[in-house]
Structure 1
Amino acid sequence: MLTLRQLFLANNAQTTDFPLLLEFERAQGVYLYNAEGKPYLDLISGIGVSNIGHGNAQVIEAIKNQLDKYMHLMVYGEYVQTPQVRFAEKLTSLLPESLQSVYFTNSGAEAIEGAMKLAKRYTGRNQIIACHNAYHGSTQGALSIMGNEDFKQAYRPLLPGIQFINFNSLNDLDLITSETACVVIETIQGEAGIRVPNAAYMLALRNRCTKTGTLLILDENQTAFGRTGKLFAFEHFGIIPDILVLGKALGGGMPLGAFIASNEVMGALKNNPILGHITTFGGHPVCCASGLASLEVLLNENLIEQVAAKEALFKQLLVHPAIKQIRGKGLMLAAELDSFELNKAIIDHCIEQGIIIDWFLHCSNSMRIAPPLIITSEQIKEACATIIQAINIFAV
């Protein structure tokens, strides 16, 4: 009889030739547990998903309650479904007044696709500007605005009319013109190795988009829901996007994405043609119930207010000559090392020791540190001690 690992390799599509092949039976809080009960401290939150940790009782209760009522009823946008309505109501109550219309999707990548379509439809323009080293997902449209040729060259031709600018470069903003439908940009670049823009750049970007009639789309798939120490990362910079894209932590562990705009802008999808964007499972009622419960836990337990102190503790403890710098904001950090080879050796050793860390798609020499916001000071100290120990072994 084949083992579960052998069946995984035989029947599940593979994304690399070297999957981690870790097997987990359950997850609780900041830990994942294998079949033997060994705990693994999750320092990457399933890549930005598990902001309030794994197995939260309130989220599970909300999921079970919704399961007892109904699951899928109809393609998105036709029936009035309580979980969708209540979650959209809560989200918009926490956002600026101009972000009042929520379109729920299945994922962050699909939300990017919808936002790009919406910008083209509303403005009547077809040029889209994105950033070098950007990551917005792997679907064809999202791939078209990925800022790393290595990951996209095998899939050309992609969308036409895409132009790239340098992130955090004031000089490039003149490339945004009256021909530009939208600028799609991560509020803080994730897969580039956590690149935080300065406030002057973000304000200039906002002003340039306003001046040219270009819609500013902020991709907050990784940054939203307290990850950076604010509910939404754009709050750090005193600007408001025309379209906000959410995913990852949005669903509280369930698959969910959203793009959010004004009623006026979103209304462009309703006619000429009708049904301008359609999704069967977007805004699945169980996922929306989970997302709303997760957001309420995040707010009611004051987790966001604790993020700055936890960021400071990581930066205080992760000091070593081999660490060239630590970039980031809140619990979205990157520790830069000399090479991918060194980084990978450290990551593998830490996983063996029960600490899960990772690297970045466009910055493979940097270590990803993005634990659930519920991580405690003692757990941070434990994780950092293991990382420093690993660096001491391999950084010779």
Structure 2
Amino acid sequence: MHISQRQLFFDHLAQTSDFPLAIEIERAEGVYMYGTDGMRYLDLISGIGVSNVGHRHPAVMAAIQQQLDKYLHLMVYGEYVQSPQVKLAEALAQTLDLPQAQTAPYGKINNVYFTNSGTEAVEGAMKLAKRFTGRYETISCFNAYHGATQGALSLSGAEFFKRNFRPLLPGVRQIHHGVMADLDLITTRTAAVVIEVIGGEAGIRVPSLEYLQTLRRRCTDVGALLIIDEIQTGFGRTGTFWAFEGYDIYPDILLSAKGMGGGMPIGAFMASQEVMSVFKNNPVLGHITTFGGHPVSCAASLATLTTICDQALHQSATQKGELIKTMLQHPMIREIRGKGLMRAAEFESFEVLKKVIDTCIERGVITDWFLFCDNSMRIAPPLTITEEQLREALQTILDVLDEQ
């Protein structure tokens, strides 16, 4: 008896909800994914912020193929000199050679520790901050999402998401993203503040310039490290290569993943050599990973970085983002928030939005909501999307709204 792939999906793949999309995709190219039934879907969320250069970008595929012909995993992280890791680390350091680095307490970020994912980058950064400062209190934001492992989950800012996994890490305090008065909670007991420049899963919350600059000064004044989580915002999504560039600040530790790999799994936490060097002693091998910085993923990431910079995709994201803001006007939409190609469209309720999302998917446009803001639609297409393709997707949404 033939058993469908869909049935095997439900029988053998661990499920994390009772309502997965369960769309079977046969292939993907550019901004489109194709179902086994011949249906074409425009990916308006980039696989949740991953496919910044689209699916199977030719430069990424070529880099992967070239590395496959050389070697795969050779040794645990940091022991062998592997060209893909070295070249990518150098290229990342170049993107961080910015004038505002001169104002940061520990100078320019020039050391990269590669991981397999964003949550691993968060975990490594938390350890690094504790080891460097000798403190243990970590501050994060309400309604923030930094990952699902136990340390990263401790930082997450929605109680419903973590209450059934307690006890979690002690010493974690939370502040409200964008609220100036809460910055007084950052003290000489604080090892680090972990914050997204733009609150992602909170529904794309864009803070003021004054807020982030005051946050930077506060961390400097009390000796706390500023850890900026650019796992969603990095690699060009908000109109600059790194979102923090738009606020004239500079982190002590920077986190990246998602759009970094061109579709391959990779993450990183980055700091100055002074900060990162504490992992070398007391104890030696203070942070270890087996597969972090996999050579194929690093090759794909370098091709992604080069493509974004050479084609100025981060700059074109600003113009395309304005198109979303101006075109997506409808009485059912209460507000459009965001920067670049990282946008949220707010609706009356989750129930209203869910019908819209389901109908859009039926019409071939993939969108979604946010973990901690389920009445807002996620709009974050690949940076490579053309204006014509974007207009087509937005018009589909408007048509669906007119039918409600």
Alignment of 1:124-135 (within 5 A): 124-135=134-145
User: Structure 1: how far apart are the matches of 2:180 and 2:286?
Assistant: 35
User: Structure 2: how far apart are the matches of 1:114 and 1:368?
Assistant: 28
Aligned residue in 2 for 1:275 = 285
Matched, 1:181 2:191: yes
User: Structure 2: how far apart are the matches of 1:320 and 1:144?
Assistant: 38
Query: Which aligned runs of 4 or more in structure 1 are off by greater than 3 angstroms?
Result: none
Aligned residue in 2 for 1:203 = 213
- 1:308 counterpart SS class: helix
TM-score under structure 2 normalisation?
Answer: 0.97
Amino acid corresponding to residue 374 of structure 1 in structure 2: T
TM-score under structure 1 normalisation?
Answer: 0.99
Aligned residue in 1 for 2:246 = 236
- 2:357 counterpart SS class: helix
Aligned residue in 2 for 1:41 = 42
Deviation of the 1:240 alpha carbon: 0.2
Aligned residue in 2 for 1:350 = 360
Matched positions, count: 394
- 1:364 counterpart SS class: strand
2:57/2:262 contact within 8 Å kept: no
User: Structure 2: how far apart are the matches of 1:389 and 1:342?
Assistant: 15
Aligned residue in 2 for 1:303 = 313
- 1:152 counterpart SS class: helix
Matched, 1:79 2:77: no
Q: State percent identity of aligned pairs.
A: 60
Deviation of the 1:36 alpha carbon: 3.1
User: Structure 1: how far apart are the matches of 2:56 and 2:110?
Assistant: 30
Could you report, residue by residue, the CA deviation over 1:210-247 in whole angstroms, capped at 9, with x for unpaired residues?
00000000000000111000000000100000000000
- 2:403 counterpart SS class: helix
Aligned residue in 1 for 2:58 = 57
Amino acid corresponding to residue 218 of structure 2 in structure 1: R
Deviation of the 1:305 alpha carbon: 1.9
Alignment of 1:204-223 (within 5 A): 204-223=214-233
User: Structure 1: how far apart are the matches of 2:350 and 2:82?
Assistant: 47
Deviation of the 1:384 alpha carbon: 1.1
User: Structure 2: how far apart are the matches of 1:354 and 1:257?
Assistant: 30
Matched, 1:70 2:71: yes
Alignment of 1:346-385 (within 5 A): 346-385=356-395
Amino acid corresponding to residue 30 of structure 1 in structure 2: V
Deviation of the 1:295 alpha carbon: 0.9
Deviation of the 1:360 alpha carbon: 0.2
Deviation of the 1:37 alpha carbon: 2.7
User: Structure 1: how far apart are the matches of 2:115 and 2:283?
Assistant: 20
Could you report, residue by residue, the CA deviation over 1:71-127 in whole angstroms, capped at 9, with x for unpaired residues?
000111111100000000011011036110000000010000000000000000000
User: Structure 2: how far apart are the matches of 1:337 and 1:172?
Assistant: 28
- 2:383 counterpart SS class: coil
Amino acid corresponding to residue 281 of structure 2 in structure 1: N
Aligned residue in 2 for 1:103 = 113
Aligned residue in 2 for 1:20 = 21
User: Structure 1: how far apart are the matches of 2:281 and 2:353?
Assistant: 51
User: Structure 2: how far apart are the matches of 1:186 and 1:20?
Assistant: 28
Moved more, 143-152 or 36-45: 36-45
2:260/2:301 contact within 8 Å kept: yes
Moved more, 346-355 or 245-254: 245-254
Deviation of the 1:393 alpha carbon: 2.1
RMSD across aligned C-alpha pairs, in angstroms? 0.7
Matched, 1:140 2:150: yes
Matched, 1:192 2:193: no
For structure 1, which runs of at least 5 residues remain unmatched after alignment?
A: none
